[in-house]
Structure 1
Amino acid sequence: MRYLRMYTQMAHRLLVRRVWTFTVKDVRCLPVLSSTNSKLSFSTLLQSAAPGLNFLSPSRSLPRSLPHTFRREVSFNIQDNEDFTDRVINSDLPILIDFHAQWCGPCKILGPRLEKAVAKQKGCIAMAKVDIDDHTDLAIEYGVSAVPTVIAMRGGVVIDQFVGLKDDDQLDSFVGNLIGQ
């Protein structure tokens, strides 16, 4: 089992190294995926784009096609005040703002559970993550005195909030109420 895992990791690194060595010209030549060729595998696309690079022969092609669907990210990290204004205050969607810190144990527990609750809503809500050590001004502006603090906002207006941990049912209810309002 250990050798299989080691072999798989080595094969993955080799593939990444070979793909990484493409020139910019090679990448520009890659075909654009559309609905007509969406079933093509990654190896087929590479072979059609760069036939001179024969590193993926038919006998060494990838075993499955790689997913290429585009999806909206459930959560995002806030970079600065301008980013917060653009992505949170001016958002058309309801937003959950997760004020957290790297050193906070409960934050590490709540974050993934909150993302899961938001993901269940299938794009009807988004989640912004704000590290209070990096963005102290935002934490002060929204009255964050303890972490984790979660604030629900719609149209730039705070609708609801809570501090601390909640169980999965409470999180689902909190997120569902934000959409229902």
Structure 2
Amino acid sequence: MAHRLVLRRLWTLSVNDIRCLPTSTASVASSCYSTSLQSSTTRVSFLSPSRSLPRALPHTSRREVSFNVQDSEDFTERVINSELPVLVDFHAQWCGPCKILGPRLEKAVAKQKGRVAMAKVDIDDHTDLAIEYGVSAVPTVIAMRGGDVVDHFVGIKDDEELDSFVSKVIGQ
């Protein structure tokens, strides 16, 4: 049983991990009963589920196109106190037009490359926010800048209308 586990771990190794393996078969055979193999410079653990990557992955600082609002405090922090203009998409899981508008709106926001953010608010989960902003039908999109409502629309719009709406919100 143990040798199958070791073979499975060996099979899933990356090329960099294999380079760290010892070259003599005697050291491999003697270490099959331990939880790790030891090379001259690097110790690679095969049986631990949380082993580190051989080298660090490059970190990219990409801003999220959209985010889901978790609660009223999250809404205040990420929407009202935002330095960027924010489009707030009030939607519901059961709403067919919302499922059509959401990806289109995300695409229009993504074209702006970080000059505008998009918050998604599920009205079933956050009824208080929907009532506070006068949402009576979904989908409703409200544009906010500096905590103030600057524009809104209700229903579906085509891609060109969404692009012009987003451009108008950011002031282009």
Cα separation, 2, equivalents of 1:68 and 1:52: 25
Q: Which runs of 5+ in 1 are unaligned?
A: 1-13, 20-41, 56-65
Structure 1 segments of 4 or more deviating over 3 A?
Answer: 42-48
**% of aligned pairs identical?**
74
Q: In the alignment, which of 116, 120, 128 is matched to residue 119 of structure 2?
A: 128
Amino acid corresponding to residue 147 of structure 1 in structure 2: V
Q: 1:53 to 1:172 in 2, by over 3 A?
A: same
Q: 1:112 to 1:45 in 2, by over 3 A?
A: farther
Cα separation, 2, equivalents of 1:76 and 1:46: 40
Considering only CA atoms, is the larger Rg found in Structure 1 or Structure 2? 2
Root-mean-square deviation over aligned CA pairs: 3.0
Given that 2:86 and 2:143 are in contact with CA atoms closer than 8 Å, whether structure 1 keeps it comes out as yes
TM-score, normalization by structure 2: 0.69
Question: Residue 126 of structure 1: CA displacement?
Answer: 0.1
Q: Which runs of 5+ in 2 are unaligned?
A: 1-7, 21-40, 47-56
Structure ranking higher in helix proportion: 1
TM-score, normalization by structure 1: 0.66
- Residue 142, structure 1, aligned to residue 125, structure 2: no
Q: In the alignment, which of 137, 150, 170 is matched to residue 161 of structure 2?
A: 170
Cα separation, 1, equivalents of 2:110 and 2:166: 10
How many pairs were matched up?
134
Output aligned runs, 1:39-58, within 5 Å. 44=16, 51-53=42-44
Output aligned runs, 1:17-36, within 5 Å. none
Amino acid corresponding to residue 87 of structure 1 in structure 2: R
Q: Where does residue 149 of structure 2 map in the other structure?
A: 158
